[in-house]
Structure 1
Amino acid sequence: MAEAPKESTSLISLLTLSLSFCVQCLEQKTFTVEEAVETIGFGRFHIALFLIMGSTGVAEAMEIMLIAVVSPLIRCEWQLQNWQVALVTTMVFFGYMIFSILLGLLADRYGRWKILLISFLWGAYFSLLTSFSPSYIWFVFLRAMVGCGVSGHAQGLIIKTEFLPTKYRGYMLPLSQVFWLAGSLLIIGLASVVNPTIGWRWLIRIASIPGVVLILVFKFIPESARFNVSTGNNKAAIETLQQIARINRSVMPEGILVESVNERRGRFKDLMHPKYLRTTLQIWIIWLGIAFAYYGVILASAELLERDLVCGSQASVTEEFGDHSQESQSPCHCHLFAPSDYQTMIISTIGEIALNPLNIVGINFLGRRLSLSITMGCTALFFLLLNVCTTSAGLIGFLFMLRALVSANFNTIYIYTAEVYPTTMRALGMGTSGSLCRIGAMVAPFIAQVLMSASFLGALCLFSGVCIVCAVSAFTLPIETKGRALQQIKHVGFS
């Protein structure tokens, strides 16, 4: 009988210890990737990330802008008609469209970094092959293959977005436009020197060099920690976050990393979920229209210079070129760019960063939706102003503003799309948007290079009308992502 109190005391002590242990378990600190990214903050790692991933824009711009500066040469070499020249650009974007969806699916399942590396290897390989094209058909096919590879470059933007703290995304991502500008200016500058001397084939070979160099430095950028967590690989995510903290000379949050990982990744039907359906459809409309306008401006600029479609220029053309101007009116006209034409292209291209400061202010203070709606509306207006009879300086001014506005549109929609979808479907959302975008890019050459020759005003009105539709769609988007944390899984509600 004397042992009973001791047994009761032992039982009570055991229960007390168990309860204390459970309380400690409940009090165990945890953190998410989002909280870790915010705690670590912005630092040296993000500067390196910005420079390396941003430089993918240099390679992409050189490959895309290449068609605009070699079109007059291949037209002359293979005696091409208008629709054949337009078909080259269309096939590049056809390859881009098909592979945007495929690479987006693969990136959400197997990683952003791997897909980015594969896309650069693919693009560099086929770009080099293009320079050896024996005929027009081979040129079209190989440039379409280059388009397939370039479609994966968007993963660089996704990696940047998933590593940047919230308050820096609205500032750093628009600054990436500087790299696209650098690539555009570089290819135009190279074309002005290389095309008249050693030819367009060497221009293509030189243009592939930045892509090859980038492949060598990708090893310094890790896989997205958000992607690793979404696949259940918390160990790799922790190692990546710890590495970033060391580079930034910062600290990790206390506790253990937790995230829900029961979501399937990269499913197309998730984009059609009722929570996302309206947003997805409107984003697709906007992407399609922005690409239609952007590449329309680029190709229309080249056509205005190559064909001298600007008001009042025909007399000067006759004086300068004599019989050559008659040749330029034939279906297979051969009119190469003069040094002044390259200068005009450079000036208008510089316009791509002219509105960057205002774009950054608009994105961060007005919000993504209103900012995009305003710039799209202004784009519509400046397309119509191209029809105004003006001087060469006036034309350059209009083209300058158009390039500035269409560039601002792309900045904003890139940021919005990367922010609005959760990690489990972010790359797919970007990939499908990029794919729809290329439909607009595929149609643009036939408007800017074929319809514009037949009806200048008709082509401009079509470009302007599409921009108005996009402005309305942007204004009515159901979600504003300004200041909003990146969502990790699809069942997290929108704020």
Structure 2
Amino acid sequence: MARDAGGSAQRRLTYEEAMEEAGFGLFHWLLLVVCGWANASDAVEVLCVSFLLPTARCDLLLTSSDMGLLTASIFLGMMVGGYVWGYLADQRGRCRILVVSLTVNGVFGGLASAAPWFWLLLLLRFISGIGVGGSIPVIFSYFSEFMPRLRRGTMISALATFWMAGNILAAGLAWLVIPRTWAHFSLGSLDFQSWRLFVVLCSIPSLTSALLFRLLMPESPKFLMEAGREKEAIHVFRLMFELNMRGKGKSFPEFGLHTSSKGRGELEETKTLGSCRERLANILKKGLVPIKQMFNGSLKARSITLLIIFYCISFSYYGLWMWFPELFERVEDGGSPCANVSLLSPLHNQSCYPVKTAVYMEGFIIAVSNLPGNIFTILMMESTGGKSLLCCSLVVSSLSVFLIYMVQTKTQSLILSCIFSCVSVIAWNALDVVGTELYPTHLRSSALGFFAGIGRVAAIMGNVVFGKLVDTNCAVPVLLVSALLLTGGLVALKLPQSRQTELT
């Protein structure tokens, strides 16, 4: 019998038993704040592009197709980064990967503000997206592996609400900064418009998140147990216990852990085997193993179902959401978002200045409308379950998008957009909970990273479709979004119920 950190092994606990011994309290609330801020920083970086489009398109002389490429660039990076970082997190540890991916996100997101050419802006946004693609799936794997079984659904729902906080922060910064003339100055040969300052400010949350993880957060105890690192796992449980039981006069109970017999990382084997080419082929082959496992045996049906759902919701949400500010600029003088396509005929005949503040005010209102949906998710997740919330919210989201196309006034468009924002966030929160509960620890980050990558492909396609058709046949992408949301809601009925299940 392996010995524990204290030199004796009077009893040996499973992960769930050790989690109960560690208690629930201050540590978990601190974890929620740090992981939540990281989630919010990802939202800021992803959504900031939508708010700079109305002004950046004039400064960089962008067509609607160019704007579609710009919004798609970060999702292309997220597609690349999602699975790679997720796989590395399953092999090397969650916390280390979060620090690196958040740093990549913040550094290259900030550098994008100084890009004088459109192609360079696209490149920097792509690299920033690689960082975002790693942090989003790994954050939820990391966070869920600290949660007691009976509180997991509620706490993951609470973590998901920080995406709303990032959305509100991005919308608020856009409202405060982009319309301001004082934020316009020259930096050498670069005309530093207000939207560039907005991009700089949007990179700060990611950098501060990376610092918080580096200084404060331990590795996931579930990952450490799976990696056979018993002493380190017990140390994390001790840290959790001491923070949670502070002031209660309790001492940490001595125990051992049932850990996996696998080593610290199977990638180590590739360091000394064969030529560089053979080692690379071996790494790539091992990198595909989690995907094969996801689509075999009992996991196959749920993996196919989640693939369809991720595609439908990502195409729809990001395709529509990233274009909301642009669509609202088109209804500034009244009418349907798809009725005023003539407003954007040719670039040299239009002016982006003075900036229409109402566009950013409306974006802020839509962002705030996430709040009721987030509160509803937190209150109902444990009693209703993620599957039911996911199905219902996708169907209602589909109806709201269809009505956005049908309405004829600016006020009606705003109201229905707020309804879409409120209800669609329930679907995302439910998907975050369901996704973490349906896969074992050795596949969790890889699976979430893979599905996030599928979602990024869908988001790219959604933005390209909007960019190509928004001026010529606006009804097609809007009605397509409605149809895909309905499809996702119906397919979600095939998912197994995972409410309050133990993590494997």
Q: Name the TM-score, length of structure 1 as normaliser.
A: 0.86
1:278-312, Cα deviation, whole Å (9 max, x unpaired): 11111111112111122123123222212238863
Q: Report the equivalent of 2:211.
A: 216
Aligned match for 1:204, one of 199, 204, 217:
199
Q: Are 1:439 and 2:421 counterparts?
A: no
Q: CA deviation at 1:253?
A: 5.9
SS in 2 for 1:208: helix
Q: Are 1:82 and 2:105 counterparts?
A: no
Aligned match for 1:105, one of 87, 91, 101:
87
Q: Are 1:42 and 2:60 counterparts?
A: no
In 2, are the aligned partners of 1:292 and 1:443 still within 8 Å (CA)? yes
SS in 2 for 1:275: helix
Distance in 2 (alpha carbons) for counterparts of 1:430 and 1:334: 43
Q: Are 1:62 and 2:44 counterparts?
A: yes
Distance in 1 (alpha carbons) for counterparts of 2:91 and 2:417: 41
Q: Are 1:159 and 2:142 counterparts?
A: yes
Could you tell me which amino acid in structure 2 is paired with residue 485 of structure 1? E
Q: Report the equivalent of 2:320.
A: 297
Q: Report the equivalent of 1:272.
A: 295
Aligned match for 1:402, one of 420, 431, 434:
420
Q: Report the equivalent of 1:364.
A: 382
SS in 2 for 1:55: helix
Most deviating of 184-193 and 262-271? 262-271
Aligned match for 2:501, one of 481, 484, 487:
484
Distance in 2 (alpha carbons) for counterparts of 1:475 and 1:145: 36
Q: Report the equivalent of 1:460.
A: 478
Q: Are 1:348 and 2:363 counterparts?
A: no
Q: 1:447 to 1:310 in 2, by over 3 A?
A: farther
Q: Are 1:330 and 2:354 counterparts?
A: no
1:352-403, Cα deviation, whole Å (9 max, x unpaired): 1222233234432222212211111111111111122343222111000101
Could you tell me which amino acid in structure 1 is paired with residue 195 of structure 2? W
Q: Are 1:225 and 2:221 counterparts?
A: yes
Q: Are 1:412 and 2:430 counterparts?
A: yes
Q: 1:310 to 1:229 in 2, by over 3 A?
A: farther
Q: Report the equivalent of 2:271.
A: none
In 1, are the aligned partners of 2:88 and 2:97 still within 8 Å (CA)? yes
1:201-231, Cα deviation, whole Å (9 max, x unpaired): 1111111112222222212110000111111
Larger Rg: 1
Most deviating of 421-430 and 266-275? 266-275
Q: Which structure 2 residue ranges, 5 or more long, are not aligned?
A: 1-8, 184-193, 267-286
Most deviating of 296-305 and 430-439? 296-305
Identity value in percent: 26
Most deviating of 262-271 and 58-67? 262-271
Distance in 2 (alpha carbons) for counterparts of 1:473 and 1:328: 38
Could you tell me which amino acid in structure 2 is paired with residue 296 of structure 1? G
SS in 2 for 1:433: helix
1:121-174, Cα deviation, whole Å (9 max, x unpaired): 111211121111020000001000000011121222221110011121211221
What pairs with 1:105-124 in structure 2 (closer than 5 Å)? Answer: 105-124=87-106
In 2, are the aligned partners of 1:303 and 1:448 still within 8 Å (CA)? no
Q: CA deviation at 1:448?
A: 3.2
Distance in 2 (alpha carbons) for counterparts of 1:108 and 1:240: 18
Could you tell me which amino acid in structure 1 is paired with residue 146 of structure 2? F
Aligned match for 1:246, one of 242, 262, 267:
242
Distance in 1 (alpha carbons) for counterparts of 2:261 and 2:363: 49
Q: Report the equivalent of 1:11.
A: none
Q: Are 1:176 and 2:176 counterparts?
A: no
Q: Report the equivalent of 1:386.
A: 404
Q: CA deviation at 1:326?
A: 6.5
Distance in 2 (alpha carbons) for counterparts of 1:55 and 1:422: 26
In 2, are the aligned partners of 1:39 and 1:251 still within 8 Å (CA)? no
Distance in 1 (alpha carbons) for counterparts of 2:453 and 2:212: 27
Q: CA deviation at 1:259?
A: 2.7
SS in 1 for 2:297: coil
1:78-120, Cα deviation, whole Å (9 max, x unpaired): 2111111100111210110011111011000000001000001
Could you tell me which amino acid in structure 1 is paired with residue 13 of structure 2? F
In 2, are the aligned partners of 1:95 and 1:145 still within 8 Å (CA)? yes
Q: Are 1:52 and 2:34 counterparts?
A: yes
SS in 2 for 1:453: coil
Q: 1:262 to 1:275 in 2, by over 3 A?
A: farther
The number of residues matched between the two structures is 452
In 2, are the aligned partners of 1:40 and 1:251 still within 8 Å (CA)? no
Aligned match for 1:471, one of 489, 497, 501:
489
Distance in 2 (alpha carbons) for counterparts of 1:251 and 1:311: 66
In 1, are the aligned partners of 2:107 and 2:207 still within 8 Å (CA)? no
